[in-house]
Amino acid sequence: MDFAFLRETFVLLLSGLPLTLQLAFVSIAAGAVLAVLLALMRLSGSRWLGALARSYVFVFRGTPLLVQIFLIYYGLGQFPEVRESVAWPFLRQPYWCALLALGLNTAAYSSEIVRGGILSVPFGQVDAARACGMSRALIFRRIVVPQGLRVALPAYGNEIILMTRSTALASVITLMEVTGIASKIISETFRPVEVFVCAGAIYLMLNFAISRVVALVERRLSPQARKRAPAAAAPEPVR
């Protein structure tokens, strides 16, 4: 094992980490807003809004993310209307196209998670809140969101990890995040195994950190589970 090469590669790859994090963070945050909108559209009871949200989810979950990235980065430029629009300075840059594609993609997956979370809140609770005279917005904020979030969080944590992993696709449209740098080093040195080990270690550490943070948030959101924790530590019954 050539440790000098490993260390050098690791340091080089780390310089791509800020871009990876940025892509993941911005797209997940923007995607979350859109996801809530989509989930609300599906639960609104309106046939048109529901169908619109359903077809959005169908299209974005049924096609590869790489196709979506290419469609936005290379595809949109085909139309003179787009090239002359105010959005063109953004849409011609790989960075914004990658963010757009990643955000639209995660919104589709997350909206299903959000919908599941909202649906998991027992209707009796909403009923009770209504009986107390709470407004719809207040019910949503105080009753539905805290409980739904708790249910949706484990699945959403998974989605965050998957999305962080998916930012690697941005390297295909020339962005130099961790995977982009990795592929550059591979083609220069032709040592794929060492580069894979270093890049893999970075992604695994990132995933581990994310899963710890999600677990922490989960604990904060469920005070009842915290109180029950000592009971869980009691000796297991003998089988």
Partner 1 sequence: MADYVELMGFGPRGWGLLLVRATLMTVAVSATAFALGGALGALIAWARIGGDRTLRLAADAYTTVLRGVPDLLVIYLLYFGGSLAVSALAQALGARGFVGVDAFAAGAIAVGAISGAYQSEVFRGAYGVIAPGELDAARSVGMPRLMLFRRIIVPQALRSAIPGLANVWQLALKESALISVVGLTEILRQAQVGAGSTRKPFAFFITAAALYLVLSTISGWGFERAEAVAMRGVRRS
Output the smallest distance, CB 54 to partner 1, in A: 14
Rounded to whole angstroms, the Cα distance separating 92 from 100 reads: 12
Tokens of 45: 């009871």
Asked if 74 is part of the footprint of partner 1 (rule: CB under 8 A), the reply reads yes
Nearer to partner 1, 131 or 193 (CB): 193
Q: How far is the CB of 74 from partner 1 (least distance, A)?
A: 4
C-beta of 87 vs 132, nearer to partner 1: 87
How many residues line the site for partner 1 (CB under 8 A)? Answer: 38
CB-based contact 198:5 (threshold 8 Å): no
Name the minimum Å distance from CB 201 to partner 1.
9
Q: Which is nearer to partner 1, 65 or 119 (CB)?
A: 65
Single residue of 50, 75, 94, 116 touching partner 1 by CB under 8 A: 75
Footprint (CB under 8 A) of partner 1, residues 52-71: 58-59, 62-68, 70-71
Contact between 170 and 98 under an 8 Å Cβ cutoff? The reply is yes
Instruction: Give backbone dihedrals phi and psi of 103, rounded to 5 degrees, phi first.
Output: -65, -45
* Residue 168 binds partner 1, judged by CB under 8 A: yes
Burial of 47 (0-12, 13-18, 19+ CB in 10 A): exposed
Q: How far is CA 152 from the centre of its chain?
A: 13
Rank residues 111 and 194 by Cβ distance to partner 1 and give the closer one. 194
- If binding is defined by CB under 8 A, does position 22 make contact with partner 1? no
**135 contributes a contact to partner 1 by CB under 8 A:** no
Question: If DSSP states are collapsed to H, E and C, what string results for 13-70?
Answer: HHCCHHHHHHHHHHHHHHHHHHHHHHHHHHHCCCHHHHHHHHHHHHHHHHCCHHHHHH
Judged by CB, which is closer to partner 1: 158, or 222?
158
DSSP labels, 145-187: HHHHHHHHHHHHHHHHHHHHHHGGGGGGGT--SHHHHHHHHHH
* Residue 27 binds partner 1, judged by CB under 8 A: no
The contact set with partner 1 (CB under 8 A) reads 58-59, 62-68, 70-71, 74-79, 161, 165-169, 171-172, 179, 182-183, 186, 190, 192-193, 196, 199-200, 203-204, 207
